[in-house]
């Protein structure tokens, strides 16, 4: 399976995918493209070090958002991935891309959807809201992408306990380490090995998944 990974920042989830492919935790998978909307994203350096093709195209380069959307769609069509992985991508995915790759885009979100998700919930804002609300458990979710925001069928979730003295930054790091970097590679491997199906807008996984890791 060929995957395109879309990123906007440091690329820690990208690195988790690269490491999981190298170690054999993700099988039958190769990264054919790393895309970033941010020319200064460290994720691009990660791609270079791993010898992975990459593309950088920012909406700021275009006078019209429609032109950017068309350019992004063309970049992805040229890469021809079997699966697109949103791994900390802060660009709103155009409807044209969602339609072109229907059922073939997944996203990692740093909460237990449907909590703390949707428009405006990204990055540290998710964790700030969780702490503000006083919840005891947060976590991460891998889901398919549809036309909504964080509304597609859920593939995997992993809970992470919140500690009394957590800051948003500390909680973000724990959720990355204990949840995101584990369930995103696991979801990719499940899809690469044809173990994931969508039935009645819900995900059915063939076989057992050990989320205790």
Active-site residues: which are they? 109
Peptide linkage before 196 cis (omega within 30 of 0)? no
Residue with tokens 């440091």: 10
Beta 137-144 vs 154-161: how paired, if at all?
A: antiparallel
Closest CA to 79 of 136, 4, 23: 4
**CA angle, corner 173, sides to 82 and 138, nearest 5?**
80
Distance CA 120, CA 92 (A): 11
Distance CA 92, CA 163 (A): 32
Closest CA to 5 of 92, 72, 87: 87
Query: 3-class DSSP state for residue 210?
Result: coil
Q: How far is CA 165 from CA 5, 106, 134, 171, 211, in A?
A: 34, 32, 12, 10, 26
């Amino acid at each position: 399976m060929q995957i395109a990974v879309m990123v906007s920042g440091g690329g820690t989830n990208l690195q988790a995918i690269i490491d999981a492919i190298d170690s054999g935790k993700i099988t039958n998978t190769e990264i054919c493209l790393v895309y970033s909307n941010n020319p200064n994203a460290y994720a691009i350096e990660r791609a270079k070090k791993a010898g992975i093709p990459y593309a950088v195209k920012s909406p700021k380069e275009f006078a019209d958002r429609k032109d950017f959307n068309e350019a992004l769609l063309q970049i992805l069509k040229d890469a021809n991935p079997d699966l697109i992985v949103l791994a900390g991508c802060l660009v709103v995915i155009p409807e044209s891309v969602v339609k072109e790759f229907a059922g073939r885009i997944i996203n990692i979100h740093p909460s237990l959807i449907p909590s703390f998700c949707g428009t405006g919930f990204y990055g540290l804002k998710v964790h700030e809201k969780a702490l503000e609300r006083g919840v005891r458990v947060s976590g991460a979710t891998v889901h398919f992408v549809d036309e909504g925001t964080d509304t597609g069928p859920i593939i995997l979730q992993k809970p992470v306990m919140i500690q009394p003295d957590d800051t948003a930054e500390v909680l973000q790091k724990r959720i990355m380490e204990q949840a995101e970097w584990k369930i995103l590679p696991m979801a990719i491997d499940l899809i690469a090995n044809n173990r994931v199906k969508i039935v009645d807008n819900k995900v059915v996984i063939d076989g057992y998944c050990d989320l205790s890791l």
